[in-house]
Amino acid sequence: MTMGHHRRTARRALAAATLAAFALGATACGSSGGNPLSSSASGGGSGSTVVVGSANFPENVLLGSIYSQALKAKGVKVEEKFNIGSREVLYGQLQNGSLTVLPEYNGALLGYLDPKTTAVTKDEVNAALAKTLPASLGVLDSAAAEDKDSLTVSQETADKYNLKSITDLAPQAPNLVIGGPPEFKSRREQQFKDVYGLTLKEWRPTGDTTANAIKDGAVQVGNVFTTDPKVVQFKLVALADPKNVFGAQNVTPLVYKAGVDATTAGALNAVSAKLDTAGLTALMKRVAVDKEDPSAVAKDWLKANNLG
């Protein structure tokens, strides 16, 4: 089973229950909207062990390994508990302190906590999280890296029509075929018409083969996750989404505040400051396509960014 299939399957199952999938265009790195360690619950001592968890899909395991090794490099005692399962299980373990740190996606986390949220930008999402999370939990700085839905094209199509954002698609849309999951048309067609004025020639269900369909020319535009390794492998271009049809999904550390001290928070924020979408996608190609060990890939990235 490919990483993309595994991730899509897990996300769809979770989305059906919570309206928020593990979803999963770089934006500026920024703060979560407050210091999660400012309450009296904070203050994991220097002798305590930080337990880093992850969900059960390769990208989250990679991010967990990056967090873990970054903490160890700062002398923090770390225990790794990777491949645990879905958000419901992970969130409960963080609430009871069994886990200390979890790599999360801010938009999906907010959707899980508040399915009716209207927050879409990174800052809006993080501000809402600061108000919605229980007092025992907090988020640290979000990375620019996002694992989110996108409209993606081939480099050839981008060059031919000078496409950089979804806005640029509008004049060409009537000549273009779009691919994605079977439910993509019903969920997004009207939204793209209303927000961007897109009227596409045809909506074709391509599912997990969307990136291949773009590469092969079966479709000219497709719904591909921004950190899908095929973006790198096939030299695809994810179009910017300036009007935020796809809400923010920035990689963000979710923490159990009582177990996190300033050293731990500083190490994790330093990771967020360096991690962008293109970099994470390149790392995921090494993990999912080249079949390299996630811990070795994490170690290389940390060393290259002077964090390991």
d(CA 157, CA 168): 12
Higher pLDDT, 23 or 75: 75
Task: Centre a 10 Å sphere on the Cβ of residue 188 and count the other Cβ atoms it contains.
Answer: 21
Do 38 and 160 have their domain in common? no
Two tokens, residue 185? 């048309």
d(CA 252, CA 32): 8
- The string of DSSP letters for 79-132 reads EEE-S---HHHHHHHHHTTS-SEEEEEHHHHHHHH-TT----SHHHHHHHHHHH
Two tokens, residue 291? 């079949």
194-223 pLDDT per residue, tens: 999 999 999 999 998 999 999 999 999 999
CATH of the domain at 230: 3.40.190.120
Do 71 and 181 have their domain in common? no
Do 10 and 93 have their domain in common? yes
Do 234 and 252 have their domain in common? no
Total residues found in the chain within this entry: 308
Which positions ≥6 away from 103 have C-beta within 8 Å?
Answer: 54, 60, 63, 64, 66, 67, 251, 252, 253, 254
DSSP 142: B
Q: Report whether pLDDT(8) > 90.
A: no
> For residue 182, is it left (φ>0), alpha (ψ between -120 and 50) or beta?
alpha
148-176 pLDDT per residue, tens: 999 999 999 999 999 999 999 999 999 99
Do 141 and 217 have their domain in common? no
d(CA 303, CA 125): 31
Q: Helix (H, G, I), strand (E, B), or coil: what is residue 138?
A: strand
Two tokens, residue 209? 């083969």
Do 131 and 40 have their domain in common? yes
Do 133 and 259 have their domain in common? yes
d(CA 14, CA 8): 10
pLDDT of residue 21: 36
Helices and strands (DSSP H and E) totals, the chain: 12, 10
d(CA 262, CA 80): 20
Do 115 and 130 have their domain in common? yes
Do 234 and 257 have their domain in common? no
Q: Report whether pLDDT(34) > 60.
A: no
Task: Centre a 10 Å sphere on the Cβ of residue 180 and count the other Cβ atoms it contains.
Answer: 24
d(CA 102, CA 85): 12
CATH of the domain at 28: 3.40.190.10
Question: The domain containing residue 50 runs over which residues?
Answer: 3-147+247-304
Q: Which residue has the tokens 């060059």?
A: 159
d(CA 38, CA 257): 9
Q: What's the structural domain count of the chain?
A: 2
Q: How confident is the model at residue 47 (pLDDT cuts 50, 70, 90)?
A: low
Q: What b/e string do you get for 75-89 counting C-beta neighbours within 10 Å, with b at 16 or more? A: ebebebbbebebbee
Two tokens, residue 9? 């399957």
Looking at 230-293, list the stretches that DSSP marks H as alpha helix, in order from N- to C-terminal side: 230-233, 262-274, 277-284
Do 253 and 138 have their domain in common? yes
Two tokens, residue 17? 């229950």
Q: Report whether pLDDT(2) > 90.
A: no
Do 158 and 143 have their domain in common? no
Do 19 and 141 have their domain in common? yes
Q: What is the mean pLDDT of residues 11-30?
A: 36
